[in-house]
Structure 1
Amino acid sequence: MASTLFRNGTVWTGAGEPAIGALLVSDGVIAALGDDALAAAADATEVDLEDGFLMASFGDGHAHPLLGGLEYVGPAVRPCTTVDEIVDAVRRFAEDNPDEEWIVGASYDGSLAEGGLFDARWLDKAVSDRPVVLRAWDYHTVWCNTAALDAAGITADTPDPVLGEIPHREDGSVLGTLREWGAVDLVTAVMPARDEEVRIAALGTAADYYLNKGVTWVQDAWVEPGDVDTYLEAARRDALRIRFNLALYADPRHFEAQIAGFSQAKRRVEQLGSPFLTAQTVKFFADGVVENETGALLAPYCSGLHSHGMTVWEGDALAEAARQVDDLGLQIHIHAIGDAAVRQALDAIEYVVDTNGERDRRPVIAHVQLVDDDDLERFAALGVIPCMQPLWAQEDALMNVLTVPRLGRKRADKQYRMRSLADSGAPLALGSDWPVSSGAPLDGIAIGVSRQTAEGEPAGGWTPDEILPIERALGAYTEGVAKQAFAEGTWGRLVPGASADLLWLDRDPRSTPALELPAITVRATYVRGALGFSEQH
């Protein structure tokens, strides 16, 4: 068996454990630690850690890797800091790609226009002869030019669809911004499908992106039937390179027709037998997002535009759908942003437990932007994993321009209560929601352990009582995600017998100032003992 000895650095085996000086990998598995590793390493190839830091690789508990990879295919609007820059980027892309029937891109900063409302006429200045569709950072909103609206048949007389909104100008004409998937679907339904080769390549782009940041397992948190086909073909070609778990999207408009498809997708993935692909989860949306006032709140929005926001599953529908998913042995994963949505998600899971009995189901509620005090202890009591995005816990432009005005300061200061949930005994896991925000765990951890922006604001941190200790944050991004994945003991912690999914950093993050964490260099990432990324190549 091929063996590799890692030495001459700090080997961190997990939260609360002392660091050691060596680790031995044999045939893709951790064989020994510390002195035992040195004693058994006679024929091993050595890797000199050069005083660096070796730890378990990160997992990402909630992301959208296929969408992230596809961002690299369209116009580069993510770096743009003004509307004019976005328009120029679209114009250049259109000129360079004259044969593209539709121009599709992502993801623009929704805070660049007042209220997050973008006008089709601005894009018309760049491209008027072909449809243009851009997704916002939140991926719950799109911005279209007039040609795209025309192609979708959206006019001033088109009513708001179920689970969607079509904003209008003062004169009643359609603005060009579409909110939530009920409205977004009107456009995506007439868009040409992406070439399958492009989609498979996008998964490769996503794998490279993650490996460069030390991530080797990702929860794809919105998978539709065509996406399953893409993942399966990529796995057949050995093109995945990291571990993906698929969360199959549950749509309240079509749920009864989807149930059989969930079982079929799981069975197809299991029959393929790829070590890099599982399909054990179903994804529900309980609400939208605060930024466009579709997050579901217990008390109304300050503006009153949408009052309490949007409830995706009315009445007991979410609870009953979750029960049917649980009947299939699949994991429940619920997007819940507002405190009303979080309560509905907890109620649904409680109903599942009461109806189907106790078992190791590990339900997940993702985001948990707002949680009412009365619901805080329910996570631990029900065994619910809060999968949260630490990068969002900062007073940046998005927070100050779009979020705080909608929630009000008192309610805004109760967002992202990661420390409170972890202290309550809830099994905290962390994720990025990439490409909504950076997929680099160290970017998110820097915010989670400081509650500050990259500029160090505010002094002492925003809502400092919610600051996570560094080992707790690292643990939630490793063994916390492994628990979410039903994979503890397989990866997420450096113990003998575990897969050698490893991350080599140039320095110890535990002793690095919070704002310097994003500057730590990923020297290498290993998957099952094989080199997945090296800064030297």
Structure 2
Amino acid sequence: MRATLYSNGRLFTGDPEWPSAEALVVRGERIDYVGDNATARARAGADALELDLAGRTVLPGFVDGHAHVVMAGEAQLKAHLTDAASLAEIQRRVAAWAEANPDAPRVLGRGWLFSAVPDGKPTRTMLDDVVPDRPVYLDANDYHSVWVNTAALTELGITRDTPDPAGGRIVRDAAGEPTGHLEETAAINIVWSFLAKVSSDADRDRALDAATHAYLSSGVTTAVDMALDEHNLAALARAERDDRLDLRVIGHWLIHPGVDHGPQIERAAELAREHRSERLRVTGVKFIVDGVIDGCTATMLKSYADGSNADPIWSLDALAPAVAAADAAGLQVALHAIGDGAVRMALDALEHAATVNGPRPRRHRIEHLEYVDPDDVPRLAELGVTASMQPVHADPAIRENWAAMLGDDRAERGFAWPEFSSSGARLAFGTDAPTAPHPPLPNMYIATTRKSALDPGSPALQPHLAISAPDALLHGTADSAWACRAEDVVGRLRAGLLADFVVLDRDPFDSSADTLLRARVLRTVVGGRTVHRDR
């Protein structure tokens, strides 16, 4: 088999045994050799295809440790609202999208921030003012609530008599009428379920293709999908069958509260046996324990600035046996827990599973951990739990409302990545796209500077919690691969692993702090094949 030789580069391997190199040899889908130019050339053979890297930097392909792949593609096709700083600007963009898509049965947008809405309270009339004749559905930036207009409430069949679903809320005004703001499971079970039913396979295929292009062109070669359902998994399976799935996807099946967990976990175990390829693998389950700090739906040990708090979406009495059942089935458990109260509950549930099921190979994880009580930080390492975090959520440009909701010194310990590493826990980085931008390099920039990728001129927040560029890149490649049980397949540049890597136009380790923000991906290689090239 003819080899391909990549020579004269600066390789960050992520391999502690050989952390840097200048060449690699690819044979078929796998890396055959990593090391010096002379040995690589001899190993490749006289008939090898040689590509001169001309001193450019090569990194392992990024492993987005927490993503929502099809949703990220759908977001590419909606009105973009994250940088809309006022209600007037949100309304303008929604109206513009409606005008540009006159045949769309629904007006769709994503990414609005609570800080852009008067008093942080979105209402249907605000949207009725600009689109009265078509249903409008706007996902919040954190994807934990949806803002809709009157036509959408009518389409959904939501009235003053509609009960709140378990773990969610239909926000109502003083008269008891729905305001158009649907939180947590009211968004997931009512809105998203409805939109999934009215979307076609062709819609999902188009969204997946958009997501695949976006990820590969930014350097992501593997994404861990944290909310698989039947529709999204079917789209991924179709793409794999049709040889369109250039992005590797490792999935967690979403377990819904208020429903018998037994059949759901059995289905996840069945899918884990069925989907085991290097392109598409189901590895575990996902539980959403609480909401988000921005919307005051995350569960805190101490109340928010306004005196409120939020009940968890799962009670510990319901969560602990469900986690134990998944653990017993050999599934990897991921628990969304943002507030310190939810993180403690997640740790308690994982500790319960270890107690009732006894010693066994485990690689469970907690997602987000935006604020964790200091007493609980050591428990992650003690229980072998991965801290799966997203630096992009700490972007100073979107932190004002987050800090205001806490209203005290807790905000100074937000997103404390070094604490988890220092305690001995494994730290994996992702983006949670589409709740945040998907490109990994700006994500790494925020991790290494605590500055904003959205507003680079703004000052750093909590710069003492920044980490080094090598550490950040390891968390976004090798550690993320380990966290999804893929360390023997991807995440490093090492002989025998799949040839997944990216070539950058500049060195991310130079002395300029903003290099990671300015760096461009020139080439993305997956399984030895170039799937993106910046011409």
TM-score tier, shorter chain, comes to over 0.9
Residues 73-82 or 511-520, more deviating? 73-82
Q: Residue in 1 aligned with 2:115? A: 111
Contact 2:165 2:185 in 1 (8 A): no
After superposition, the C-alpha distances for 1:397-433 in whole angstroms (9 at most, x for unaligned) are: x311x21121123011111111111111111110000
Name the counterpart of 1:75.
79
What per-residue deviation string (whole Å, max 9, x for no partner) do you get for residues 135-166 of structure 1?
A: 11111111101111122233344443321222
Residue in structure 2 matched with residue 445 of structure 1 by the alignment? 444
Give the equivalent residue in structure 1 for 2:253.
248
Matched-pair contact (CA < 8 Å) for 2:204–2:235: yes
- Structure 1 counterpart of 2:255, one-letter code: A
- Is 1:261 matched up with 2:267? yes
The 3-state SS of whatever aligns with 2:99 is: helix
Q: Secondary structure of the equivalent of 2:7?
A: strand
Aligned equivalents of 1:422, 1:318: Cα separation in 2? 27
Structure 2 counterpart SS, 1:497 = coil
Distance 1:394 1:214 in 2: 20
- Any idea what SS the aligned residue of 1:176 has? strand
- Where do 1:44-55 residues align within 5 Å? 44-55=48-59
Are 1:145 and 2:144 counterparts? no
1:290 paired with 2:309, answer: no
Cα-Cα RMSD: 2.0
Q: How does 1:453-492 map to 2 (within 5 A)?
A: 453-454=452-453, 461-492=460-491
Give 3-state SS (helix, strand or coil) of 1:30's partner: strand
Matches of 2:33 and 2:183, distance apart in 1: 53
Deviation for aligned residue 1:512: 4.7
* Aligned residue type for 1:25: V
For structure 2, list consecutive stretches of 5 or more residues without a partner in the other structure: none
Shift of 1:339: 0.5
Q: 1:517-528 alignment to 2 at 5 Å?
A: 517-528=516-527
Please point out which of 295, 303, 313 is paired with 1:300: 303
1:226 matches 2:231: yes
More off after superposition, 275-284 vs 314-323:
314-323
| d(CA) in 2 for partners of 1:166, 1:15 | 49
Question: Share of identical aligned residues, percent?
Answer: 36
Equivalent residue, structure 2, for 1:409: 408
Q: Which moved more, 1:449-458 or 1:145-154?
A: 449-458
CA distance in 2, matches of 1:89, 1:403: 24
Letter in 2 for 1:259: I
Q: Is the 8 A contact 1:62 1:387 kept in 2?
A: yes
Query: Structure 2 matches for 1:26-45, cutoff 5 A?
Result: 26-33=27-34, 34=36, 35-41=38-44, 42-45=46-49
1: CA distance, partners of 2:29 / 2:315:
48
In structure 1, the residue matched to 2:507 is 508
Report the Cα distance in structure 2 between the residues aligned to 1:115 and 1:249, rounded to whole angstroms: 32
Which amino acid is the alignment partner of residue 252 of structure 1? P
Distance 1:439 1:317 in 2: 33
Question: Which shifted more, 82-91 or 295-304?
Answer: 82-91
In 2, the alpha carbon distance for the partners of 1:115 and 1:447 equals 28
The residue type paired with residue 234 of structure 1 is A
Q: How much does 1:105 deviate? A: 2.9
TM-score scaled by length of structure 2 = 0.94
**1:175–1:489: structure 2 CA closer, same or farther, 3 Å change rule?**
same
User: Equivalents in 2 of 1:359, 1:470: separation in Å?
Assistant: 34
- Structure 1 residue 87: Cα displacement: 2.3
Report if the CA contact (8 A) 1:489-1:495 is conserved. no
Structure-to-structure mapping, 1:85-484, within 5 angstroms: 85-170=89-174, 172-183=176-187, 185-191=189-195, 192-254=197-259, 255-270=261-276, 274-304=277-307, 307-396=308-397, 398-400=398-400, 402-454=401-453, 461-484=460-483
1:79 to partner: Cα distance: 5.1
1:170 deviates by 4.8
AA partner of residue 261 (structure 1): R
Letter in 2 for 1:520: A
Deviation for aligned residue 1:382: 1.0
> Are the structure 2 counterparts of residues 13 and 67 from structure 1 closer, same or farther at C-alpha, using a change threshold of 3 Å?
same
Contact 1:30 1:494 in 2 (8 A): yes
Find the aligned partners of 2:164 and 2:206 in 1 and give their Cα distance. 36
- Relative to the length of structure 1, the TM-score reads 0.93
195 and 143 in structure 1: CA distance in 2 versus 1, 3 angstrom threshold = same
Q: Equivalent residue for 2:14?
A: 14
**1:431-488 superposed Cα distances (whole Å, 9 cap, x missing partner):** 00011111111111111111122456775x4323321111111101010011012121
Structure 1 CA distance, aligned partners of 2:82 and 2:340?
Answer: 29
SS in 2 for 1:449: helix
Aligned length: 528
Aligned mates of 1:183, 1:7 — CA distance in 2: 51
Structure 1 residues 11 and 530: alpha-carbon distance in aligned structure 2, compared to 1, 3 A threshold: same
- SS of structure 2 residue aligned to 1:43: coil
User: Whole-Å Cα distance in 1 between the matches of residues 416 and 206 of structure 2?
Assistant: 37
Please list every run of 5 or more consecutive structure 1 residues that lacks an aligned counterpart in the other structure. none
AA at the equivalent of 1:269: H
How many angstroms does 1:395 deviate by? 2.7
